Amino acid sequence: MDQGKWIAAKKLVNERDGGLCIVCQREAEAVHHRQVRGQGGSSDPDSNYGLANLVSLCASHHAEVHANPAGSYENGLLVHSWDDPRDCPVMLANETIVIYLAADGNITKFQQQALF
């Protein structure tokens, strides 16, 4: 991984997320790859440095993502190697808010509507 590009990507993610965990809004301590580098992302610049693939997490939520991969895939904090992170939303706030992360750093936020 190119250290200069990684430092620049982390800075952009921290600015976008306000230095806060996107799950709980506590201070972020990690920039997390939603599509993990061990799943073929290590040679793909979009996976390594793309803002749609990176989120800020506190240490507790970063550990939870990796300890509970099934739930993390369901809520979009992990993305399968065959999926494009730009097309995989992140569900927040008890699955009532969904965000899509764009490669350019923009966030689109939706309030989910109840079906019943």
Give domain status of residue 116, yes or no.
no
* 29 occurs within a structural domain: yes
- Average pLDDT for residues 27-40, to the nearest whole number? 85
pLDDT at 116: 46
Instruction: Give the number of domains in the chain.
Output: 1
Confidence (pLDDT) at 94 = 62
Which residue range is the domain that position 50 belongs to?
Answer: 3-111
> Residue 108 above 90 pLDDT?
no
For the chain, the three-class secondary structure string (H helix, E strand, C coil) is CCHHHHHHHHHHHHHHCCCECCCCCCECCEEEECCCHHHCHHHCHHHHHCCCCEEEECHHHHHHHHHCHHHHHHCCCCCCCCCCHHHCCEEECCCCEEEEECCCCCEEEEECCCCC
pLDDT digits (tens, 9 = 90+) for 48-107: 788 999 999 999 999 999 999 999 999 999 999 899 999 999 987 666 678 888 888 888
Residue 112, pLDDT > 80, answer no
Q: Is 97 part of any domain?
A: yes
Res. 46 pLDDT band, cuts 50 70 90: low
| Residue 48, in any domain of the structure | yes
Q: Looking at the whole model, is its pTM more than 0.75?
A: yes
